[in-house]
A and B are shown apart, each in its own frame.
Chain A
């Protein structure tokens, strides 16, 4: 007992409070939304446990088809991404070629380009009247009367290409990390015993880097399995994520969207478990660090230029959809021609004149700035506790802060929608007016009180609070990771020296540690900000009324509207990418080469 008291006494009280607050917020905004989804999926109207709804998902041919299509989407996207990334990673690890430094950074660009926006471009490039067909027609390979639909299979091909071009950098990063940890002596030993180059790759290198490959594949697989924005833009409707999205309109009293989300979450968890079981233990590639650094080889001229060409081509292809978007934005008219036939700024002018676009830019900036501030403060606090204190359970806090990376955005967004529906415990976050007059439900008194406070500053149906929270929770891992890296690189004794000279713990952090890790924090926040600006699942699901639309929902709504909607969407997308470009370049300058580390498992 006595030792417990001295133990507690030796813990910094501010950290204990922060720990408790972070844990509490995590319960409300992470565990609870998932919990409420599970509850609706497994409990009938009379509160009895039932497997009926979940089993219906597998029995209903439409839902089953959706799941199968989601699997197809995930498998093909992952396979294509591996096919692109693996050779590039091997080349980058082994050879020196012109422009290598810049190209191995450029090849990562697609990760930060919004695939949701790129989809507009792909449709113009690969569609029936798109550029690709026009090129083929002009050289006589395709009959203009019956053009080929390259988006094929109801859009599946387009979705897969877009996903793969978006996600291959994740595999590239994981594989290059695995290769860097590989002792070159293992390869040399095989060479010394007479093994040829190709055999060595197959027999030595690939087996050893498999854990890295699969770590990347798991992320890509889950990411594309639950992707919402891309299939939506390709009208690929018979897939689970889109079915959930369309099921949102009537989620009160309809258990099937909940059941779909539950199945999706369960499959995701299953995939993590399978990948951990299969590849978690055989992690020999990273078990021993390389005894010496690998020395990339110089190649004969022609071959080295081939490497340069391969990298350039992949980067070009990956950027092409977004170039297409820019063209669409500038185009007056773009059908049956390789490039737009007219170029002008009329779309931009019109887009800026449109009330939805203008308010959406303002909304997105507001949401993203607020979310970044929250994620920044909470993230830095969590990173500090995890790295600098010895509070019991801090490892759990760390894992908790990283979880939002693993749970599909769609699942969490759905949970937020479910928990803030009118009549639910947290409805005051979105419907303060209604909540302040409501009389039923758990914790109603608190809800009424908070509702009447909130209703002073916002109208019912304004998603700002829940959207900001959703953005902040989903982007928290980036801030935590980059701040934690900063704390780890900065010796504790620097802070202790300040306290020893009379600075209070808070002053020591403010004057010594924070300035030293400012670059890390700003970089993490910039990433959080730019991803929040182009967030898809939360935005599409939680923003219901036009005046509250963020950019992504505005793009979607313009895109699905008639007339020159897709061109307006493209010009809004171009603006968004410009924003993104500026913030990412800023983050890259601040964080240097460590930027890649944020996307590794």
Chain B
């Protein structure tokens, strides 16, 4: 178990800034996710940890050891590639044994550990198969076994589930978490699938245009995004523009004036003391809104029904507000019938679920 520290890491490719002074600390044994839209720099950061790239500036530390210029083969990380990168000219067992051979393990030891690793991913029977005789899910498990069998200091996963179908993805993500926790591995996991990240991450960092825009536990980031970009990248959100009026009450709530009337909400950004007239965006998650038959005193949006989508576990009602703005309301376990079209609808949110973000 090692901790991984990234210090002001920067990397350019030609004119493109891939990483812009990224700093992060990943605790020993932690399952850490790098999440972001494609091209945000998350894979580049992972490859710096693996040692395939050297930065233009900044450092990578494993515990206190500076590994910035240590070549990839001397880092004792184990990476699972998006394409799996299994060697087609070797059998399953040979693929898994490769890392142990490089570590000069004795043959008996290699055989035993390869066997154990294949048991762990339930592929012992396929040990002598060639890679192209395996299904996608089996290949994914070989890649995992090959990475884990060397008992790496940390496990690096580059979108490991993106080539699998939806059902298998669900099974494998819990499986990966179980194995990582069992081995006590420090794991860095790159994905653009927010559900995957929310489901199994201990902590995660959102990257955008080469910068870390927010880090924290899934709950912190989902509930209290620092910016509208984070809010809209992670899950759905309703955004209403407004200006700050005043602080209200004692719960650090603030009142915001919008086209839909007054909203009370809370600040997510630390060290920010708003003043009257500051331009802000009010963000409310669709599932934090409730449909009502009447207008409340505040935190209420009125509008005509735009459309209604029944999705089984949830139902989404979309209202068209005064300025043509669409507001989404998600209802869990929908049992009632769809609202009539052209009826006036009201949607409201509790002040503690209403976020005020700087514009």
Q: Which of A's residues lie within 8 Å of B, judged by CB?
A: 3, 6, 9-10, 491, 493-494, 496-505, 507-508, 511-512, 515-516
Contacts and interface: CB of A to CB of B under 8 A. Distances in A.
A96 to B, nearest CB: 31
B54 A501 contact: no
Contacts of A496: 50, 52, 72, 79, 81, 85
B260 interface: no
Counting chain B CB atoms within 10 Å of each CB, the highest count among A491, A497, A501, A502 belongs to A501
Contact of A515 (B79, B89, B156): B89
Nearest to B72: A499
Given A6-B55, A10-B54, A496-B72, A501 B85 contact: no
A54 B99 CA distance: 65
B79 A6 contact: no
A508 B74 CA distance: 13
Given A497-B86, A502-B99, A507-B73, 13 more contacts: A9-B54, A496-B85, A497-B81, A497-B85, A498-B87, A500-B78, A501-B98, A501-B99, A502-B74, A502-B150, A503-B73, A508-B73, A516-B89
Counting chain B CB atoms within 10 Å of each CB, the highest count among A493, A497, A511 belongs to A497
A502 B102 CA distance: 6
B296 interface: no
Interface in B61-88: 69, 71-79, 81-83, 85-88
B56 interface: yes
21 contacts: A3-B56, A6-B55, A9-B69, A10-B54, A496-B50, A497-B86, A498-B98, A500-B51, A500-B78, A500-B156, A501-B102, A501-B147, A502-B99, A502-B102, A503-B102, A504-B73, A505-B71, A507-B102, A512-B87, A516-B87, A516-B89
Contacts of A502: 73-74, 76, 99, 102-103, 150
Nearest to B74: A502
A380 to B, nearest CB: 17
B343 to A, nearest CB: 50
Interface string B145-174: 011001000001000000000000000000
Given A501-B78, A501-B99, A504-B73, A491 B85 contact: yes
Contacts of B51: 499-500
Counting chain A CB atoms within 10 Å of each CB, the highest count among B50, B53, B87 belongs to B87
Contacts of A10: 53-54
Do most interface residues of chain A lie in helix, strand or loop, or is the interface mixed?
helix
Contacts of A504: 71, 73
Nearest to A504: B73
A130 B99 CA distance: 69
B85 A493 contact: yes
A9 B55 CA distance: 10
B73 A499 contact: yes
B84 to A, nearest CB: 8
Contacts of B98: 498, 501, 503, 511
Contacts of A3: 56
B89 A500 contact: no
Do most interface residues of chain B lie in helix, strand or loop, or is the interface mixed?
loop
A507 B82 CA distance: 23
Contacts of B52: 496, 499
A491 B82 CA distance: 12
Interface of B: 50-57, 69, 71-79, 81-83, 85-89, 98-99, 102-103, 146-147, 150, 156
B17 to A, nearest CB: 13
Given A500-B50, A501-B102, A503-B98, A516 B88 contact: yes
Contact of B56 (A6, A503, A511, A516): A6
Contacts of B147: 501
A505 B54 contact: no
Nearest to A390: B13
A119 B157 CA distance: 64
Contacts of B146: 497, 501
A497 B103 contact: no
A498 B74 CA distance: 11
Given A6-B55, A500-B79, A505 B73 contact: yes
A516 B86 CA distance: 12
Given A501-B102, A516-B87, A493 B150 contact: no
B181 to A, nearest CB: 22
Nearest to B80: A497
Contacts of A501: 73, 78, 98-99, 102, 146-147, 150
A505 B51 CA distance: 12
A515 B94 CA distance: 14
Contacts of B57: 6
A491 B83 contact: yes
Contacts of B50: 496, 500
B27 to A, nearest CB: 22
B163 to A, nearest CB: 13
Counting chain A CB atoms within 10 Å of each CB, the highest count among B52, B55, B73 belongs to B73
B34 to A, nearest CB: 17
A571 to B, nearest CB: 43
A500 B55 CA distance: 18
A229 to B, nearest CB: 42
Nearest to A511: B98
A6 B54 contact: yes
The 7 closest A-B pairs by CB, nearest first: A501-B99, A502-B102, A493-B85, A497-B85, A10-B54, A499-B72, A500-B79
B81 A493 contact: yes
Contact of A497 (B76, B79, B89): B79
B50 to A, nearest CB: 6
Contacts of A499: 51-52, 71-73
A497 B74 CA distance: 13
B96 to A, nearest CB: 10
A504 B78 CA distance: 14
A515 B53 CA distance: 25
Contact of B73 (A6, A500, A511, A515): A500
Contacts of B99: 501-502
B349 to A, nearest CB: 46
A508 B51 CA distance: 15
Contacts of A493: 81-83, 85
A492 to B, nearest CB: 9
B9 to A, nearest CB: 12
Contacts of A494: 85-87
A502 B103 CA distance: 7
B274 to A, nearest CB: 41
B65 to A, nearest CB: 17
Nearest to B158: A493
B72 A500 contact: yes
Contacts of B72: 496, 499-500
Contacts of B88: 516
A502 B77 CA distance: 9
A254 B346 CA distance: 102
A558 to B, nearest CB: 47
